[in-house]
A and B are shown apart, each in its own frame.
Chain A
Amino acid sequence: MTIGSVPLRYKVTIDPERCMECGRCIENCPYGTFRKEGDRIIVAVSRNCTACHRCIAMCPRDAISVVERPVDYRSHPLWTPEAREAIYNQARTGKIILAGMGNALPLPSIFDRLLLDACQVTNPSIDPLREPMELRTYLGKKPSKLAFRRTETGDVELETKIAPNLMIETPIMIGHMSYGAISLNAQLALARAVHETGTFMGTGEGGMHPDLHPYQDRLIVQVASGRFGVDIDYLNRGAAIEIKIGQGAKPGIGGHLPGEKVGPDVSRTRMIPEGSDAISPAPHHDIYSIEDLAQLVRSLKEATGWRKPVFVKIAAVHNVAAIAAGIARSGADAVVVDGFRGGTGAAPKVFRDHVGIPIEAAISAVDQKLRDQGVRNEVSVIASGGLRNAADVTKAIALGADAVYIGTAALVAMGCRVCGTCYRGLCPWGIATQRPDLVARLDPVLEGEHVANLIHAWTMEISELMGAAGINAIESLRGNRDRLRGYMLDEGLLQVLDVRTVGA
């Protein structure tokens, strides 16, 4: 028996009244959805459409429309169209289903059920346009107490030596997306944006292309389980080093960059043969326990003269708080916690949608555990995984994060439509692709401005939110859960978040 073809995912139509046959849709669609037939343009294979909206964005006459799921299945609350289609797919192929971007299940967002506070009467809100508003953040180890000495002249001098910290003027950084996963132009745009806004971005596990060297002071270099692109030159160029243990989109597994994406440039930057698959193993093969991590942290510091902070990134899993407490004792300077909504170029769908926990709960648990154990000053906490706007960032900080990484949001600022087809390497926006004609579509100068605009805009919004709450330094927002209230959250979750309900 045959399964037959499944219904269309998207139905594309061209309004013939509006179409002027310019052919931009044909040029722009790398999936071959459109075709010229005689003097008309027709939708040849609607089935190829990914809803990337490139054709819609480029059509000068608004002639194209895309409709999701034009064909109904018999409705059923359990056997959703997605559930059925996944089975058809696997019945045919016998394979693991790949997916892009973050968790696609309709789970409620905790951020949306946390509400921020503002001042009324009893204390004045602060206007950031008139009064200083301090978002400056230092990432790295801080002493838990200071030692001073008095000089003969009676002056107080500091005796304690402070470990190297990264200074940022906004709590927003850009997370690790490697050259290979995204294009060089995309990385260049991000690099220009962090340079412009006084923050940092991650290189991902893909080495550092020479074109990024002018921005190296703003780059955090990553050391992951495949060790791609890692040598002493790479480590020395970065402002900080990040050891990647896990990723929110796929906790517990490694990564896979298919050989077809490993062209000459990617090959050189990753230091692997051209055309070979770049497979990052699930664990680091030199880290089988926490003390091995401590050795790697020390090795990286020793190699770079103890001048750079070392971060450790983990996926938010059930026991994240205890793991973070272990990392705080490893000599690492910051722990990055990546929630289950974190994006990715490619992940097995079963991992993307079902493994890990929300960043809101993870940050709360981590911050509290570190405080309970008296090691909160040992590490900064960086939250990532599905942060969509300035409110999410503000809430993450109020729950206890020092700073955040954004990923998907920065890509969206460059045109990404969250179509989730990154793993095919044909990104029509020139982001998740290595095909030269597609990469050339992304102008690093213009898109760099867009990403910088986004960071500026969020930073201003965070300032306004802080001012409204009567807070003029981000230190006083950090971990200030009294300024959050939970709306329609259950009691167990309120306890984990250490947040009171609205009205209380």
Chain B
Amino acid sequence: MCGIISVVDRSGAVMDGARIRDALSMMDERGSGEGAGYAAYGVYPEFADCYAIHVFFDNIVETKAQVDALLQTWGTIVHDEEIPTYEQPHLKKVHTPWRYFFRPDPTLMTGTPSPEDDIVTYLVMKVNTTMRGALIYSSGKNIGVFKAAGWPEDVADFYRIQDYKGYIWLAHNRYPTNTRGWWGGAHPFNLLDWSVVHNGEITSYGTNRRYIESYGYKCTMFTDTEVVAYLVDLLARKHGLDEKLAVRALAPPFWDEIDRMPPKERELNRAIRLTYGSAMMNGPFAIVVAHRDGIAGFTDRIKLRPLVVAEEGDRMYISSEEAAIRRIAPELDRVWMPRAGEPVVGRVRR
């Protein structure tokens, strides 16, 4: 199960989180009250140049000093604070969510064209694999992930999601299977600019994990979704594939379709499958990936999970259910169901 909804305003206009909360709550049936979360782009305009690093601390007495020290080794903490939360009767606060606005020192990482991103990626892997009691779950610029174990509306009210404004929203309601409903296991998953929500189970996880780990990523959250964020980071950021090609690699056409393509297209698609066979994701899934420039949704190659897309003026919605979209946008210009494996991209005009 699991329910997902996402929206992008292609003009870049911001929306507050109240409506996305209502939309996600329409799909309570798809979850179990053990995990929900929201990601929003454009939420920290006052620190837009800093990496917004969100951390779940088990307690802030022991581990926070270690994280502070590590961050200071690699750059400057411009500002940090506890993320404001508001007690909810049905949500137990087991972690203290904290946010750092961090500026890495690019001179400290050599031999890479993107030292700042690489420092932050390194810090995420380092903290999540070696520091017990601390988990970085959000690390992009001007991006915030807000998640916890609970029903969508409780998690939204816990963070007062209506107080945040973003031009992209991603939201997820979880029915956990791979792990108990712990906070780190809730979606969205984020790394740098990439955020992912996912409904399904990736049967190729072992292959994908071993592939991505050979590029230095470390899967630390015991659930298959984080591998999607790392795969997208590898394909799109490091290998420079555009959204369509990246989705081609993750959910490629079948060979008999490729065999029927015109020669140049056939050669391109064959090359993608040969090169990125280990990145191909199998099993039932519907996924929405967000980036500062927009969102992309796609399903597995035989569409074993639902995905519906709708447009209303500048806004594009991608969701598990049309009802969730209609809850907040009753009058839609267009509603459609993309074909299996076919990416739907909503890009922000710049």
User: Is B201 within 8 A of A146, CB to CB?
Assistant: no
Question: Across the interface, do A156 and B268 meet the contact criterion of CB distance under 8 Å?
Answer: yes
Give the chain A neighbours of B267 by CB distance below 8 A: 158
B339 to chain A, nearest CB (A): 14
Complex contacts, B200 vs chain A, CB 8 Å: 123
- Whether A165 is near chain B, meaning CB under 8 Å from some CB there, is yes
Q: Taking the complex as formed, is A372 at the interface, i.e. its CB lies under 8 A from any CB of chain B?
A: yes
In the complex, the answer to whether A471 meets B275 with C-beta atoms within 8 Å is no
- A134–B274 CB distance below 8 A: no
In chain A, positions 141-176 with a C-beta closer than 8 Å to chain B are 142-146, 148, 156-158, 160, 162, 165
Q: Are A123 and B201 in contact (CB under 8 A)?
A: yes
Question: Which residue of chain A lies nearest to B274 when distances are taken between CB atoms in the complex?
Answer: A142
Contact A470 B203 (CB under 8 A): yes
Q: B204's closest neighbor in chain A, by CB?
A: A476
Report the minimum CB–CB distance from A138 to chain B (whole Å): 5
Known interface pairs A374-B214, A478-B278; A136-B203 also in contact (CB < 8 Å): no
B: interface residue count bin: 35 or more
B275 engages A469 (CB within 8 Å): no
Cβ of A93 within 8 Å of any chain B Cβ, yes or no, is: no
Known: A123-B304, A374-B214. A132 touches B256 (CB 8 A): yes
B201, A122: Cβ atoms closer than 8 Å: yes
The yes or no answer to A86 lying at the interface (CB within 8 A) is no
User: Could you tell me if B254 and A142 are in contact, using CB atoms closer than 8 angstroms?
Assistant: no
Near A by CB (< 8 A), chain B positions 184-239 give 200-201, 203-207, 209-211, 213-214, 239
Query: B204 near A471 (CB under 8 angstroms)?
Result: yes
Known A372-B214, A377-B275; judge A480-B204 contact (CB<8 A). yes
Instruction: Please tell me if A16 contacts chain B, counting CB pairs below 8 Å.
Output: no
**B207 A477 Cβ-Cβ under 8 A:** yes
**Are B278 and A160 closer than 8 Å at their CB atoms?**
no
CB proximity to A under 8 Å, residues B272-300: 272-278, 280-284
Least Cβ distance of B221 to chain A in Å? 15
Contact of B255 among A134, A477, A480 (CB under 8 A): A134
Check B349 for interface membership: any CB of A closer than 8 A.
Answer: no
Which residue on chain B has the smallest CB distance to residue A130?
B302
User: What's the Cα separation between A471 and B255 when bound, in Å?
Assistant: 15
Choose from B210, B242, B281 the contact partner of A371 (Cβ within 8 Å): B210
**Interface set, chain A 214-270, CB cutoff 8 A to B:** none
Residue B301 at the chain A interface, CB threshold 8 Å: yes
Q: Of residues 371 to 394 in A, which have CB atoms within 8 Å of B's CB atoms?
A: 371-372, 374, 376-377
A residues less than 8 Å from B334 (CB atoms)? none
Instruction: Choose among A134, A371, A476 the residue that contacts B254 (Cβ–Cβ < 8 A).
Output: A134
Knowing A122-B177, A123-B283, say if A145 contacts B204 (CB, 8 Å): no
CB pair B203–A146 under 8 Å, yes or no, is no
Beta-carbon nearest neighbor of B281 in chain A? A476
Are B205 and A478 in contact, with the CB atoms below 8 A? no
Could you list which residues of chain A lie within 8 angstroms of chain B, going by C-beta atoms? 119, 122-124, 126, 131-132, 134, 136, 138, 142-146, 148, 156-158, 160, 162, 165, 371-372, 374, 376-377, 398, 469-473, 475-483
Q: List 17 A-B contacts (CB under 8 A).
A: A122-B177, A122-B201, A123-B201, A123-B203, A123-B304, A146-B239, A148-B241, A158-B268, A376-B214, A377-B275, A470-B284, A471-B204, A476-B280, A478-B277, A480-B207, A481-B206, A483-B206
Given contacts A138-B274, A144-B275, A471-B282, 9 further A-B contacts (CB under 8 A): A143-B274, A145-B275, A157-B264, A471-B204, A475-B207, A475-B278, A479-B206, A481-B206, A482-B209
